[in-house]
């Protein structure tokens, strides 16, 4: 899982409100901040003018700007990135980017704050990559993108975004009263992997594009362990729910990027060992000699 801490800061009037250690000259003139961090380092262009190399932070006039990032990688060709960003007065907007050889292998996020009439902070999450992704706010499921949460608490939050066949991304940001926290994320992965994993262990699979044939589900490998557990074990335990393909993958880690080590059947029940970010660690055999993780999307706990 890729974790990115995107610090959004508000500059109000004569002072600085937020966190991250930024310092600015006190001024009544509205300012809009831009911070860019990339892996690897990249040249940064704003409206066609090179302003430096990442990591970089700079103040601009409020308004829409075009940001272009050209990765500095002499050994391998990586895809460039260009986007339009609205810079709001008194707000620091943060862009993060992990470059891949292709756009499908790249990931990142744009995090900012937008003024709103209500004082209670809200949250908006939009994802490019899959059409739909699962969102956790501080570990609690909120639904699927595009997502709007009308009321969240002011302060620090962790937003976890995941989808079948894509790398999970975690963004840390601070919500402020009177502002909407906006997260626009890009997950690394490829659409063929998502549609092929129709019985994914995490969020609901992305819809198949109109007119495209739906790929046939891959057959279950006969080498994968399939423990039988139709008798309820001692509580707490996990019960496997129905899935689109009639089985659920068991992985080495609580993410779709974890290696598949086995498969379990709907209706089976296994001792619960741990819970993490919508995933359950189960004892794969009832002797508790091995364990693995299954998605809470297709499982429930009995306590």
Assign 104 a pLDDT band (cuts: 50, 70, 90). confident
CB 7 within 8 A of CB 171: no
Q: Which pLDDT score is estimated for 181? A: 93
Q: Which pLDDT score is estimated for 43? A: 94
C-alpha separations of 157 from 137, 145, 180 in Å: 7, 17, 13
What kind of fold does domain 237-302 have according to CATH? SH3 type barrels. (2.30.30)
Average pLDDT score, the chain? 76
Q: Which pLDDT score is estimated for 92? A: 87
Assign 32 a pLDDT band (cuts: 50, 70, 90). confident
Assign 30 a pLDDT band (cuts: 50, 70, 90). low
Q: Which pLDDT score is estimated for 245? A: 66
Q: Which pLDDT score is estimated for 136? A: 92
Pick from 217, 208, 148, 153: which is nearest to 183 by CA? 148
Assign 289 a pLDDT band (cuts: 50, 70, 90). low
Q: Which pLDDT score is estimated for 51? A: 93
Pick from 112, 114, 33, 108: which is nearest to 69 by CA? 108
Q: Which pLDDT score is estimated for 20? A: 35
pLDDT digits (tens, 9 = 90+) for 55-92: 999 999 999 999 999 998 777 788 899 999 999 888 88
Residue ranges covered by each domain of the chain? 2-186, 237-302
pTM: 0.57
């Amino acid at each position: 899982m890729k974790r990115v801490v995107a610090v959004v800061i508000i500059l109000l009037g004569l002072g600085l409100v937020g966190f991250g250690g930024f310092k600015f000259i006190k001024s009544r003139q509205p300012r809009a901040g831009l911070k860019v961090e990339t892996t690897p380092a990249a040249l940064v262009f704003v409206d066609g003018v090179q302003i430096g190399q990442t990591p970089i932070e700079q103040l601009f006039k409020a308004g829409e700007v075009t940001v272009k990032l050209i990765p500095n990688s002499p050994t391998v060709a990586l895809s460039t990135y260009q986007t339009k960003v609205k810079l709001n007065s008194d707000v620091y907007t943060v862009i993060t980017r992990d470059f891949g050889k292709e756009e499908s292998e790249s990931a990142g996020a744009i995090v900012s704050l937008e003024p709103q009439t209500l004082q209670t902070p809200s949250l908006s999450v939009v994802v490019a990559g899959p059409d739909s992704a699962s969102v956790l706010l501080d570990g609690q499921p909120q639904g699927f993108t595009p997502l709007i949460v009308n009321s969240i608490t002011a302060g620090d939050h962790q937003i976890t975004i995941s989808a079948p066949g894509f790398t999970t991304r975690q963004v840390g940001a601070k919500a402020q009263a009177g502002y909407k926290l906006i997260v626009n994320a890009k997950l690394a992965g490829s659409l063929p992997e998502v549609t092929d994993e129709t019985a994914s262990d995490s969020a609901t699979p992305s819809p198949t594009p109109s007119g495209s044939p739906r790929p046939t589900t891959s057959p279950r490998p006969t080498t994968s362990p399939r423990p039988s557990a139709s008798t309820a074990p001692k509580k707490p335990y996990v019960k496997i729910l129905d899935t689109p393909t009639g089985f659920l993958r068991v992985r080495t880690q609580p993410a779709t990027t974890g290696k598949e080590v086995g498969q379990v059947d709907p209706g089976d029940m296994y001792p619960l060992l741990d819970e993490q970010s919508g995933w359950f660690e189960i004892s794969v055999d009832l002797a508790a000699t091995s364990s693995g993780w299954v998605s809470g999307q297709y499982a429930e706990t009995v306590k």
